[in-house]
Structure 1
Amino acid sequence: MLCGSFREAAERLGLIEADNTLDDCLTEAEQWAMPCSLRRLFATILVHCEPGDVRGLWDRHLEPMSDDYRRSRTSPDEVEQIVLLDIRGMLQSMGKDIVDFALPTIDDAFDPTEGEAREVIEETTVEFDMDDTKLVSSLNLEQRAAYDEILTTVERGDGGVFFVDGPGGTGKTFLYRAMLAKVRSQGKIGIATATSGVAASIMPGGRTAHSRFKIPLSCDDGASCSFTKQSGTTKLLRMALLIIWAEASMTKRQAVEALDNSMRDIMGIRDRPFGGKTVVFADYLLRVGNGTEDVDDQGNILLPEDICLPSTGEVDDLEKLIDHVFPSLDDNMSDSNYMTSRAILSMTNDNVDKINIRMIDRFHGDEVIYHSFDIAEDDPYGYYAQEFLNGLTPNGLPPHALKLKLNCPVILLRNIDPANGLCNGSRLVVRGFERNTIDAEIMIGQHAGRRVFLPRIPLCPSENDMFPFKFKRKQFPIRLSFAMTINKAQGQTIPIVGVYLPNPVFSHGQLYVALSRATAKRNIKILIQKEKPKEKANKLKDNPKKRKRPTVSLLTSMKNIVYKEVLTG
Structure 2
Amino acid sequence: MPEVLSSGSGSFFVDGPGGIGKTFLYHSFLATLRSSGHIAITVVSSSVVASIVPGGQTAYSRFKIPLDVSANKICQISKQSSIARLIMLAKLILWHEASMTKKDTIEAFDLLLKNVMDSDKPFGGSGISLRFPEFFESKRVAPQLVLKENCPIILLKNLNPTEGLCNGIRLVCKQLRQHALCAKIAVGQHQGKRVILSRIPLQTSDNEKNGIPFKRTQFPVKLCFAMAINKSQGQTLDRVGIYQHEPVFSHGQLYVALSRSKMASAVKVLIMPPTFYDANIVLESKTMNVVYREILELAAK
| TM superposition score category, shorter chain reference | 0.7 to 0.9
Q: Does 1:352 align with 2:138?
A: no
Counterpart among 138, 146, 149 of residue 406 in structure 1: 149
Question: Contact 1:346 / 1:485 at 8 angstroms: preserved in 2?
Answer: yes
Equivalent in the alignment of 1:283: 132
Partners of 1:462 and 1:166 lie apart in 2 by 37
| Structure 2: gaps spanning 5 or more residues | 275-282
Question: Contact 1:198 / 1:491 at 8 angstroms: preserved in 2?
Answer: no
Q: Would the alpha carbon gap of residues 567 and 234 (structure 1) be closer, same or farther in structure 2, given more than 3 Å must change?
A: same
Within 5 A, what are the aligned runs for 1:385-464?
Answer: 403-461=146-204, 464=207
Q: Would the alpha carbon gap of residues 564 and 154 (structure 1) be closer, same or farther in structure 2, given more than 3 Å must change?
A: closer
Identity rate of aligned residues, in percent?
46
Partners of 1:530 and 1:227 lie apart in 2 by 49
Question: What CA deviation, in whole Å up to 9, does each residue of 1:373-403 have, x standing for no partner?
Answer: xxxxxxxxxxxxxxxxxxxxxxxxxxxxxx3
Q: What residue identity is the alignment partner of 1:515? A: L
More helix by share: 1
Equivalent in the alignment of 2:54: 204
Q: Would the alpha carbon gap of residues 506 and 277 (structure 1) be closer, same or farther in structure 2, given more than 3 Å must change?
A: closer
Question: Contact 1:411 / 1:427 at 8 angstroms: preserved in 2?
Answer: yes
* Count, aligned residues: 288
Question: What CA deviation, in whole Å up to 9, does each residue of 1:242-275 have, x standing for no partner?
Answer: 11111112211221222222222223x2233333
Q: What residue identity is the alignment partner of 1:499? A: I
Q: Would the alpha carbon gap of residues 488 and 204 (structure 1) be closer, same or farther in structure 2, given more than 3 Å must change?
A: closer
Q: Does 1:176 align with 2:45?
A: no
How far off its partner does 1:516 sit?
A: 3.1
Question: Contact 1:412 / 1:424 at 8 angstroms: preserved in 2?
Answer: yes
Q: Would the alpha carbon gap of residues 567 and 155 (structure 1) be closer, same or farther in structure 2, given more than 3 Å must change?
A: closer
Q: Would the alpha carbon gap of residues 235 and 419 (structure 1) be closer, same or farther in structure 2, given more than 3 Å must change?
A: farther
Q: Secondary structure at the match of 2:108?
A: helix
Counterpart among 239, 246, 250 of residue 504 in structure 1: 246
How far off its partner does 1:181 sit?
A: 0.8
How far off its partner does 1:184 sit?
A: 1.0
Equivalent in the alignment of 2:119: 270
Q: Does 1:213 align with 2:63?
A: yes
Q: What residue identity is the alignment partner of 1:280? A: S
Partners of 1:459 and 1:346 lie apart in 2 by 25
Partners of 1:157 and 1:455 lie apart in 2 by 50
How far off its partner does 1:556 sit?
A: 2.4
Equivalent in the alignment of 2:212: 469
Q: Does 1:235 align with 2:85?
A: yes
How far off its partner does 1:529 sit?
A: 4.7
Q: What residue identity is the alignment partner of 1:276? A: G
Q: Does 1:556 align with 2:299?
A: no
Q: If you compute each CA radius of gyration, which structure gives the higher value, 1 or 2?
A: 1
Q: What residue identity is the alignment partner of 2:200? A: I
Q: Would the alpha carbon gap of residues 210 and 158 (structure 1) be closer, same or farther in structure 2, given more than 3 Å must change?
A: same
Q: Would the alpha carbon gap of residues 487 and 556 (structure 1) be closer, same or farther in structure 2, given more than 3 Å must change?
A: farther
How far off its partner does 1:463 sit?
A: 7.6
Within 5 A, what are the aligned runs for 1:99-114?
Answer: none
Partners of 1:486 and 1:154 lie apart in 2 by 31
Q: What residue identity is the alignment partner of 1:283? A: F
Partners of 1:482 and 1:270 lie apart in 2 by 48
Question: What CA deviation, in whole Å up to 9, does each residue of 1:183-235 have, x standing for no partner?
Answer: 01112221222212222322211122222222111113872322233433223
Partners of 1:248 and 1:467 lie apart in 2 by 30
Q: Would the alpha carbon gap of residues 407 and 511 (structure 1) be closer, same or farther in structure 2, given more than 3 Å must change?
A: same
How far off its partner does 1:487 sit?
A: 5.1
Partners of 1:273 and 1:567 lie apart in 2 by 16
How far off its partner does 1:346 sit?
A: 6.5
Question: Contact 1:221 / 1:254 at 8 angstroms: preserved in 2?
Answer: no
How far off its partner does 1:524 sit?
A: 0.9
Q: Would the alpha carbon gap of residues 445 and 273 (structure 1) be closer, same or farther in structure 2, given more than 3 Å must change?
A: same
Within 5 A, what are the aligned runs for 1:328-343?
Answer: none
Q: Does 1:252 align with 2:102?
A: yes
How far off its partner does 1:168 sit?
A: 1.8
Question: Contact 1:352 / 1:484 at 8 angstroms: preserved in 2?
Answer: no
| Structure 1: gaps spanning 5 or more residues | 1-150, 290-344, 358-402, 532-553
Question: Contact 2:138 / 2:242 at 8 angstroms: preserved in 1?
Answer: no
Q: What residue identity is the alignment partner of 2:178? A: R
Q: Does 1:162 align with 2:162?
A: no
Partners of 2:186 and 2:138 lie apart in 1 by 24
Question: What CA deviation, in whole Å up to 9, does each residue of 1:461-510 have, x standing for no partner?
Answer: 45832233113343211112222344543454333211123x33364355
Q: Would the alpha carbon gap of residues 211 and 222 (structure 1) be closer, same or farther in structure 2, given more than 3 Å must change?
A: closer
Q: What residue identity is the alignment partner of 2:119? A: R
Question: Contact 1:197 / 1:423 at 8 angstroms: preserved in 2?
Answer: yes
Give TM-score scaled by structure 1 length. 0.46
Partners of 1:188 and 1:493 lie apart in 2 by 30
Partners of 2:293 and 2:190 lie apart in 1 by 38
Q: What residue identity is the alignment partner of 1:217? A: L
